[in-house]
A = this chain, B = another copy of it.
Amino acid sequence: MELQDGGKVPYDLLAMATGTSAIVPNMPGVDLPGVFSLRNLEDAVHIKTWLREKNARRVVIIGGGFIGLEMSEALHSAGIATTIIHKDALPANRWDAALSAVMLEELQLSGVEFVAKAEAQAIEKGANAQLRVTTDKGAWEGDLVLLSIGVRPDARLAKSLGLNIGKTGAIAVNFSQQTSLENVYAAGDCCESFHKVSRRWVNIPLGDIANKQGRVAGRNIGGKPLTFDGIVGAQSFRLFNLECAATGLSEKEAVESGYSPVSNMTWGNAMAPPMGMSKIGMKLIADKSSGKLLGAQAVGVAGVVGRINTLSVALWAGLDLDQIGYLDLAYAPPFSAAWDIIHNAAQSLRRSI
């Protein structure tokens, strides 16, 4: 096989797991010592070393997606103050604004500074800390700056081999994790996955998907065929005391996939009221014409990830709101009311169609 640069790689079979590259914003100072991205274990080791060597007391995080949020929690628990600079009004844009507002409240209660609607413009040496980040809303100093505005699939090697690249920019594969070349397989963040709800090929770089694809690729390479059915978009992160999780499509993705989404927001409790009050907010998105569930998002102190996983299986199996409104779930007062928030949300959304 001839590479585009003229070099040759001799191989009988190639398995690619080239992952992602962190997106580095185009602004001065991103190459300064103390400016990091977080993409792999090596990055984490470098970050920890820098924090220790500089006796870091404050970190500026650029980007309030779930990696930035998780890092704010990790740094906070290590005794390091954090400022998150985010381009939008609320963190975690994938979630409904009402749920992201709960996350923002949790951040602020935990002492994390969140600078909303701010565009980072430059990083330079700091006066009272190692570095200073200038934005259109003012400047913030920190001993380390973390860039967490996103990642993109690393398809450079794939391109140089002439492999088909999908619309997402990730390597196109079939259900066996085989690329457009018969003897080249790809797995993980660098390649696409079939989304069972949108019925499109997507790139969602998450560790659990990568693990599954890796095993499927390995099985096929090893001669024990296995297909990877796909994903439904399940994801979660913890933010201090909050569980945050989502699955399926957002309304925007639903429209892009040809559905007519309707949605609602339901506030309920993780447990029966006499057992305490543990608020959960849950957004459901469904297709107006078929009544099928398309997506769900939830935030709360307890019982969130379990419910989103429950709904992930409903998405996997293509259940509609009528079925979800009457699902048999394991009721006991410490874990839910007799009608769970899942039932209430699904029935309420069904009535609105």
Residues of A near any B CB (own CB < 8 A): 196, 206-212, 228-238, 243, 245-247, 303, 305-314, 316-317, 319, 323, 326-332, 334-336, 338-340
Instruction: Evaluate contact between B243 and A335: CB separation under 8 angstroms.
Output: yes
- A331-B243 contact, Cβ under 8 Å, with A312-B310, A317-B317, A323-B316: no
Instruction: Evaluate contact between B305 and A335: CB separation under 8 angstroms.
Output: yes
Please provide the 10 A-B residue pairs with the shortest distance between their CB atoms, ordered closest to farther: A306-B306, A317-B317, A208-B331, A236-B330, A313-B313, A234-B330, A238-B334, A231-B328, A236-B332, A309-B310
From the candidates B212, B238, B316, B327, name the one contacting A312 in the complex (CB within 8 A): B327
Instruction: Evaluate contact between B209 and A328: CB separation under 8 angstroms.
Output: yes
* Neighbouring B residues of A316 by C-beta, 8 Å: 317, 319, 323, 327-328
Instruction: Evaluate contact between B238 and A330: CB separation under 8 angstroms.
Output: no
From the candidates B245, B312, B327, B338, name the one contacting A328 in the complex (CB within 8 A): B312
From the candidates B319, B329, B336, B340, name the one contacting A317 in the complex (CB within 8 A): B319
| Shortest Cβ distance from residue A327 to the other chain B in the assembled complex, whole angstroms | 6
This chain: copies in complex? 2
Instruction: Evaluate contact between A238 and B335: CB separation under 8 angstroms.
Output: yes
* Neighbouring B residues of A335 by C-beta, 8 Å: 236, 238, 243, 305
| Shortest Cβ distance from residue A311 to the other chain B in the assembled complex, whole angstroms | 8
- A317-B313 contact, Cβ under 8 Å, with A229-B323, A326-B212, A331-B206: yes
Instruction: Evaluate contact between A338 and B308: CB separation under 8 angstroms.
Output: no
A226 to B305, CA, bound (A): 30
A329 to B232, CA, bound (A): 8
Subset of 9 A-B contacts with CB under 8 Å: A207-B338, A231-B328, A247-B328, A247-B330, A312-B330, A313-B317, A313-B327, A314-B317, A316-B328
* Neighbouring B residues of A237 by C-beta, 8 Å: 332
* Neighbouring B residues of A208 by C-beta, 8 Å: 328-329, 331, 338-340
| Shortest Cβ distance from residue A306 to the other chain B in the assembled complex, whole angstroms | 2
- A232-B328 contact, Cβ under 8 Å, with A306-B303, A306-B307: yes
Other A-B pairs, 8, CB within 8 Å; known A316-B328, A317-B317: A235-B332, A245-B330, A246-B330, A305-B306, A308-B330, A309-B310, A312-B330, A316-B317
* Neighbouring B residues of A310 by C-beta, 8 Å: 306, 309-310, 312-313
| Shortest Cβ distance from residue A65 to the other chain B in the assembled complex, whole angstroms | 14
Instruction: Evaluate contact between B326 and A234: CB separation under 8 angstroms.
Output: no
A306 to B271, CA, bound (A): 12
* Neighbouring B residues of A307 by C-beta, 8 Å: 306, 309
| Shortest Cβ distance from residue A307 to the other chain B in the assembled complex, whole angstroms | 7
| Shortest Cβ distance from residue A201 to the other chain B in the assembled complex, whole angstroms | 15
* Neighbouring B residues of A314 by C-beta, 8 Å: 313, 317
A193 to B56, CA, bound (A): 62
A103 to B159, CA, bound (A): 56
